[in-house]
Structure formats: structure tokens, C-alpha cells
Amino acid sequence: MSMPEVELNKDVGKKMIIPNWVKQLKNHKTLVFGCIFLIIFFILTLFPFLFFNKDITIQTESALRLKAPSLEHPFGTDHLGRDILSRVVWGTRVSLGISVGAMVFAMILGGSLGLTSGYFGGIFDNIFGRVIDVFYSFPSQILGIFIAGILGPSVVNVMIAIAIVFLPVFFRTMRSSVVKEKEKEYVEAARSLGMNDWYIMFVHVLRNSIVPVTVQFTVGLAVAIQLEAALGFLGLGVQPPAASWGSILNDGIDYLLFAPWISILPGLFMVLAVFSFNLIGDGLRDLLDPHSDR
């Protein structure tokens, strides 16, 4: 093999090592920025003890209560003398854990029902479609509060309430995508080769219908975070002395005029989390949409 051929093969090998989607990231700055924020939040979620090892549940002496921001307490203390920054960082684990867990459950269950309903249709599709329409008739916040109020205040019940709220969204998203995909020629070609419907549905149709569901997951997470905070603010989420963004906001509502730092930091964390997931959702939509011009 001559030297030019060897150099050519090396260049080809280098191009093959880097996937195309990695090269495309430079054209999707919103996705990159969203991922940077998301990585920071997940580091705080998984390893909060590496940054803050203060006990966020123990009440301190009265001299430390409602202390303004200082070097020792960068975002001040609450009415029980607990460090606000530590509570917010540890509360990130609870708030994001509940939101992500609920959305994963809703995506799996709602996506599975939508996949089956959209592919097979018939009476199964009609029954589930009418049930989903009933859930869609309620605003998401009202439905979440109603379900959490019936089940009672706890972390698990909040996850169930949020999952039920978003289950119809994933059902409709998956179903509409599957209905379009099952009419395409490759499905008929697969049937003509003797493949059964379950194999076609899970191997071929699902793979080509998952993009809208993935985008919906990231965009829905932003709404799920707000819903979890609302339920925590109303006392339906994690119970004291544990912390979440919503419960910390509730702690500061009575001291908003003369100790606003109690509510500022959890609100800031929530805004940044919602902002990052919206950026990721928009970036994924542009990156994965084959008809996108960007």
C-alpha cells in the first residue's frame, strides 16, 4: 500500500471515530448550554454531600435564626437557623428526583399504551382515547393537586400525581407518531416478509416514533418541576424536616418582607432548572428533526 493511501485511510478513520451528531452540536448552542446547566444540577443531585455536609434538619440556637447572607451562610439562614444554601442543594435531590422519576414512569406507561393503541387501533384505541380525553379536560395543576390531595402528602404520592398528569401527554404524543408511521411502506414491506405485528411495532415503528416522545420528555420535565414545587409549597410533597424547593419557598412566605433570602435561592434554582430543560428540549427538537433547517 502506498503512502498516500495510508494517509487517506487514516483520515477516513478519524472521521468515523467522531459521530455526526457530535459534530452537529456546535450548531445547536442552546442544547449545549442546557446540557451544561443540567450536568451541574445532576452533580448536586447525586453528590450534595461533597459540597455541603451541614445537617439541614437540626434547629440551631436562636442567635442564628433569620441571619442575613454572610461568608459563613452565603444565602442566610431560615427561621429555625438552618443554612438556606445547604437546604436548597439537598432539596435539589428531592425536587429533581421526584420530577424525573414521575416523568420516566409516565413516559414508559403512557408511551406503551400509545404505541399499542396507535398501532392496533380498534376498540382498544377507542376506550383508551376516551379515558385520556377525560384526564385532558382538567388543567394539569388542578389535576395534580386533586390527586395528591386524595392520596395524601408523601414523596411517592407526589410522584404518582405528577405521573398521572403527564401520562395522557405521552399517550397522545406516541399515538399520533405511531399512526403516521404504521402507514408507511417499510411496515408493509416488513409484513410481506412474514414479520409479526409485535416485532414490527417494537423494533421498527417504535424506533421511528421515539423522537417526539424524547423531546416531550425534556420539555415536560420543566413543567413537572413547577408542579412538584407547587405541591411542595402547598404541603402535599416532602414533609418537614426534609427539604424541597417548594417546601423551602413555603417556609419563607411569612418572612418575605424582612428575610427575602429564604425564598430567593430556591426560586432561582427552580428557574434555572426549568430554563435548562427548555433549552434542551428546543435543542433536541432542532437536532433530531430531519426537516429542521438549523
pTM value is 0.81
Distances (CA, A) of 261 to 95, 164, 220, 268, 271: 19, 34, 29, 11, 15
- Quick one: cell of 76? 442566610
Q: Provide the terminal-to-terminal Cα distance of the chain, rounded to the nearest Å.
A: 41
Structure confidence by residue, pLDDT tens digits, 40-65: 878 877 777 776 666 666 666 666 78
Q: What pLDDT shows up at residue 101?
A: 93
Q: CA-to-CA distance for 244 and 233, rounded, in angstroms?
A: 9
CB contact at 8 A, 214 and 128: no
Distances (CA, A) of 191 to 127, 184, 197, 201, 204: 27, 12, 8, 11, 11
CB contact at 8 A, 219 and 278: yes
The 10 Å Cβ neighbour count of residue 63 is 7
The 10 Å Cβ neighbour count of residue 58 is 10
Residue 109: HSE in the Cβ half-sphere, 13 Å Cα cutoff: 16
Share of the chain above pLDDT 70, in %: 83
Structure confidence by residue, pLDDT tens digits, 233-252: 888 888 877 888 888 888 88
**Full DSSP string of the chain:** --HHHHHHHHHHHHHHHS-HHHHHGGG-HHHHHHHHHHHHHHHHHH-GGGT--S-SS----GGGTTPPP-SSSTT-B-TTS-BHHHHHHHHHHHHHHHHHHHHHHHHHHHHHHHHHHHHH-HHHHHHHHHHHHHHHTS-HHHHHHHHHHHH-SSHHHHHHHHHHHHHHHHHHHHHHHHHHHTTSHHHHHHHHTT--HHHIIIIIIHHHHHHHHHHHHHHHHHHHHHHHHHHHHTT-SSPTTS--HHHHHHHTGGGTTT-THHHHHHHHHHHHHHHHHHHHHHHHHHHH-TT---
Q: How confident is the model at residue 19 (pLDDT cuts 50, 70, 90)?
A: low
Given a cut of 80, whether residue 2 has pLDDT beyond it is: no
197 or 52, higher pLDDT: 197
The 10 Å Cβ neighbour count of residue 99 is 25
